[in-house]
């Protein structure tokens, strides 16, 4: 496994991030534990979750599954760089109870304690703000974070789904208080969705943040979906089905699959390998539902894409161009 440094921190993290969103809703506890054992055995040490994962009436279930895995011992917790998130309403299902969501100091304090209990650990390595909170002053957010760092309950703070201007605002505010600021941004970024290149990634690079990419296969669209359809191996649904209903998108995905087939490459692995070539990227988040999906993702780390393939991918999925030059006429 290849490693890198998480932003401005001293943490060494694997180039692939194990996303746990499917643990609970789609993958039961026993198989989730097996996947985490396999990931750790392969050298993956960066695990990402969120307090809301499990969803609906089962919010928090995913953190609980990680907690029971840590509780098995074997230095599991010590070997993992653990990231979780705060923002979603964790109050009783169907009740919009005040102060049980967003980034108020009260909710951050409440959410950290609840996550620590579910995760069966005494600290969180990377505590991420899941979304922008337009209602809480940034000074209040940083005051709460600083208190938690002083208490040893979290080590670093990161953002998720933040625009470039918010990354700048948060880090400038932190700097004025003599605080460390954000060390990472978790954003939507893949071959089919490259808008992060305009402002988010440049802002992250300017402030020394690591970039963690979610949905690296764009909801399955970049995972060889057309070929799987033709072979009867998969029935397209959800985001992929909606996207492929657009004839232009379907032609684009077909060209993508044809290019990779020509070079003997698996689409899903190539999409992950492409992200690992991108400036500023710490690593993509992979959310395997099975051990086979994890094995496929691990192969991507060692995959070297040729200049011809990289050029072909840029032609099929053109990026925005360098910022700020791309804004010019």
Query: Which amino acids are annotated catalytic?
Result: 53
* φ/ψ (deg, to 5) at 4: -145, 180
- For residue 324, whether the previous peptide bond is cis, meaning omega lies within 30 degrees of 0, is yes
Angstrom distance (rounded) from CA 281 to CA 13: 12
Reduced to 3 states, what is the DSSP secondary structure of residue 293?
A: helix
Rg (Cα) of the chain, in Å, rounded? 20
User: Cα(7)–Cα(283) distance, rounded to whole angstroms?
Assistant: 11
**Cα separations in angstroms, 140 against 103, 144, 177:** 9, 6, 11
Question: What is the C-alpha to C-alpha distance for residues 121 and 128, in angstroms, rounded to an integer?
Answer: 17
Conformational region of residue 69, where left means phi above 0, alpha means psi within -120 to 50, and beta covers everything else: alpha
For 101, other C-beta atoms within 10 Å of its C-beta total 20
């Amino acid at each position: 496994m290849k490693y890198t440094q998480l932003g401005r921190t001293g943490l060494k993290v694997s180039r692939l991030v194990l996303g746990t969103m499917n643990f609970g809703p789609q993958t039961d506890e026993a198989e989730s534990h097996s996947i985490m054992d396999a990931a750790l055995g392969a050298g993956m040490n960066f695990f990402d979750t969120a307090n809301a994962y499990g969803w609906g009436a089962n919010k928090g279930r995913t953190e609980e599954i990680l907690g029971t895995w840590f509780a098995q011992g074997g230095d599991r917790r010590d070997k993992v760089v653990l990231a979780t998130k705060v923002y979603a309403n964790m109050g009783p299902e169907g009740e919009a109870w005040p102060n049980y969501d967003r980034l108020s100091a009260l909710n951050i304090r409440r959410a950290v304690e609840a996550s620590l209990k579910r995760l069966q650990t005494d600290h969180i390595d990377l505590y991420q703000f899941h979304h922008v909170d337009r209602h809480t002053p940034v000074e209040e957010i940083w005051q709460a974070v600083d208190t938690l760092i002083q208490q040893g309950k979290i080590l670093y703070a990161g953002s998720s789904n933040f625009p470039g201007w918010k990354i700048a605002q948060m880090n400038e505010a932190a700097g004025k208080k003599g605080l460390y600021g954000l060390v990472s941004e978790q954003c939507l970024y893949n071959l089919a969705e490259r808008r992060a290149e305009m402002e988010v990634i440049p802002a992250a690079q300017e402030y020394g943040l690591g970039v963690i990419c979610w949905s690296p296969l764009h909801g399955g669209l970049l995972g060889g979906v057309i070929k799987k359809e033709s072979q009867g191996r998969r029935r397209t649904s959800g985001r992929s089905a909606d996207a492929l209903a657009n004839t232009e998108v379907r032609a684009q995905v077909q060209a993508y699959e044809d290019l990779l087939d020509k070079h003997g490459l698996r689409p899903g692995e190539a999409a992950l390998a492409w992200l690992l070539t991108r400036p500023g990227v710490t690593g993509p988040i992979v959310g395997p539902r099975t051990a086979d999906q994890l094995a496929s993702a691990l192969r991507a780390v060692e995959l070297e894409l040729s200049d011809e393939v990289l050029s072909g991918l840029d032609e099929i999925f053109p990026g925005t161009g360098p910022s700020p030059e791309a804004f010019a006429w």
